[in-house]
Structure 1
Amino acid sequence: MRISLQAELGDFQDRHTIYVFARKMSFLAVTLSSVVILLILPPLDWMGVLPVPLADGVVYGVVLSWLIGGAVSSVLSVAGHAMHQLSVSRAEFEQLSRTDVLSGLLNRRAFTEALERADGDACLAIFDVDRFKAINDRFGHACGDAVIVAVSAILAAAFDGRSVAARLGGEEFGAIVVGGSQAQRIEKVQSVCARLAEKPIAADNCVVAITVSAGIAELGGGRGKAGAYSAADKTLYLAKALGRNRVVHENEGLHPGWRRHLPQDAAAARAMSADCDEARLA
């Protein structure tokens, strides 16, 4: 019989594993003790140094074996329970370190790690709640938090499975949309923005109608993740500059027809930039 004595810390996140492991080790201790006693007792009896009859010695040996097995099981159960608590605490800490507390989505750190692993048929979408600072100023931060929670719930439901969503900070969110064609990924982002715009959010004695702007950049194709993030951020800015409540893909951002919608003078450009910056810092 072969029983592995190797136990990894991750195996002890389940209490059942602890007791199974302890029973296995107890059985092994009983078996080894019994074998040792049965091998030692006959020679001792033959040499006349066994203080009791051989039959009684065998009985005492079996009892001793079970006592040893019980002791081993108890020690392993206590040690396993301690390892279980340590493992659970470690897993919870790791989960907290990767999760945004308010939204329940991945935080920026975890999203960056997911972005580094993403490749192939995928795109990066950055969302920003339009005029979020005005919501906080008018209705209060409790209502602003309710908006963040509501937006997060819709993003989490829309981007599950291979796709992931995260809160990047403030009212800015990110999503890695995996699978499908480029047109299908764009359509999915557009549908999420449309869903957010069509249903007002009720919280803290206020009802808030929101819109969301989004910028999309494709992943893969030999471009670095930093370049893709920068492209998505620029298209988000363009969506804001074009009047908000829209989705802009990086390919659309190159279209000459969009330029006439941008601020024509420096003062207007600075105002637009300040407005976007305030929204992101709200």
Structure 2
Amino acid sequence: MFDLVHVWVIRQLTLGEFSSRQAVLWKAVAMAAKIAVFAYGLNVLSHFILVGLGLLPYPLGPALVVATMLTPPVSFIVAVIAYSIVGLAIYDLGVSRQRFETLSRTDMLSGLMNRRAFLDTFEAARGPVALILLDIDRFKSVNDTLGHKAGDDVIVQTANCLTNVLGPDEAIARIGGEEFAVLLTGQGTEQAMEIAEAIRASVEGMRLEISGRPVSISVSAGVSDGVAELGFSELFSGADRALYLAKASGRNRIVHAKELPGMPLSASIPDDGQVGIERGRLSA
């Protein structure tokens, strides 16, 4: 009996039962009604048992009237209060856990997914996928010339640009200092390249002003596609090497992993620390 009650209570107190404070109240009322009926039945049964044993010290009729008048409302009120307290505690625990889970999967600066959340999303993907790696060109020069606050602003604006192009429901992550990743599901090479180009053009078209100075930025991107079952490492390797080639080829461009055969790993990339300031405009 105890085990049955224990299992029933645990089932009632699962986090999913209390999705809102209103849900807690309704659940408390429903549970209190059941408890009131149970308490009343137990009270009546105990009176009849005492009568059968000759132990009831007062007449049965008046006793049942009193039990009917007091037991249901008192037990109902007590149960509502007790269940509400427990339910609200569980609701608050669920909210805190959800908030912690969200924070643990979010990059605090950009508001995008972090690397862990992105990897989890990839692991859950099936079928055709495309991976786009993006890197802000000459980002180091922004930090060195305008300061780290300016660099943070550039990252935030770039993240906003990615969200505007792709929408809030796509898997977009900041996986490094100035490096971002996009996971596209059900997309082939052509579609992935078109989306990557849309991102590149949108970033290039941004008009930023930092510390009173107009700043233009660009991104380079590497694209790799295949089926999710290939694994993240293989797709990431292709996209990463494609990104390397895009940077080495002059930046502000898109390269697909299919363009990689014969690429020397020692390809020279121009110094990201170089920056030109002309007519009050920083080319980052």
Q: TM-score range by the shorter chain?
A: 0.7 to 0.9
- 2:125 and 2:228 in contact (8 A); partners too: no
Q: Does 1:119 pair with 2:129?
A: no
Q: Does 1:58 pair with 2:39?
A: no
Letter of the structure 2 residue corresponding to residue 38 of structure 1: V
Q: Which residue of 1 aligns with 2:246?
A: 239
How far apart, CA to CA, are the structure 1 residues paired with 2:209 and 2:191? Answer: 31
TM norm structure 1: 0.83
Partner of 2:66, secondary structure, is: helix
- 1:163 and 1:178 in contact (8 A); partners too: no
CA deviation digits over 1:103-142, x for unaligned, max 9?
A: 0000011111112222322100000000001111111111
Q: Which residue of 2 aligns with 1:131?
A: 138
- 1:165 and 1:176 in contact (8 A); partners too: yes
Per mean C-alpha deviation after superposition, the further-off stretch among 58-67 and 81-90 is 58-67
TM norm structure 2: 0.83
- State how 1:64-83 maps to structure 2 within 5 Å: 64-83=71-90
Residue from 138, 155, 163 that aligns with 1:148? 155
How far apart, CA to CA, are the structure 2 residues paired with 1:170 and 1:153? Answer: 16
Residue from 221, 230, 234 that aligns with 1:223? 230
Partner of 2:18, secondary structure, is: helix
Q: C-alpha root-mean-square deviation of aligned residues, in Å?
A: 2.6
CA deviation digits over 1:246-271, x for unaligned, max 9?
A: 011111233x7xx6xx89xx7xx55x
Q: Which residue of 2 aligns with 1:94?
A: 101
| Deviation for aligned residue 1:91 | 1.0
| Deviation for aligned residue 1:16 | 1.9
Partner of 1:219, secondary structure, is: strand
- 2:128 and 2:228 in contact (8 A); partners too: no
Partner of 1:158, secondary structure, is: helix
CA deviation digits over 1:148-178, x for unaligned, max 9?
A: 1111112123334763100001110000012
Q: Which residue of 2 aligns with 1:279?
A: none
Distance 1:16 1:221, change over 3 A: closer
| Deviation for aligned residue 1:21 | 1.8
Q: Does 1:34 pair with 2:34?
A: no
How far apart, CA to CA, are the structure 2 residues paired with 1:231 and 1:273? Answer: 21
How far apart, CA to CA, are the structure 2 residues paired with 1:58 and 1:202? Answer: 81
Distance 1:58 1:222, change over 3 A: closer
Distance 1:144 1:223, change over 3 A: same
| Deviation for aligned residue 1:179 | 2.6
- 1:143 and 1:206 in contact (8 A); partners too: no
Unaligned runs of 5+ in 1: 277-282
How far apart, CA to CA, are the structure 1 residues paired with 2:176 and 2:56? Answer: 78
User: Aligned residue pairs: how many?
Assistant: 263
Residue from 15, 33, 52 that aligns with 2:21? 15
- 1:179 and 1:185 in contact (8 A); partners too: no
Distance 1:73 1:123, change over 3 A: same
Unaligned runs of 5+ in 2: 1-7, 274-284
Letter of the structure 2 residue corresponding to residue 118 of structure 1: A
Q: Does 1:206 pair with 2:213?
A: yes
- 1:156 and 1:164 in contact (8 A); partners too: no
CA deviation digits over 1:203-242, x for unaligned, max 9?
A: 4433211110000011317533201111100000000000
Letter of the structure 2 residue corresponding to residue 144 of structure 1: G
Identical counterparts, % of pairs: 35
Partner of 1:251, secondary structure, is: helix
| Deviation for aligned residue 1:40 | 3.9
Q: Does 1:105 pair with 2:116?
A: no
How far apart, CA to CA, are the structure 2 residues paired with 1:16 and 1:39? Answer: 35
- 1:119 and 1:219 in contact (8 A); partners too: no
Letter of the structure 2 residue corresponding to residue 12 of structure 1: F
| Deviation for aligned residue 1:65 | 2.8
How far apart, CA to CA, are the structure 2 residues paired with 1:83 and 1:151? Answer: 39
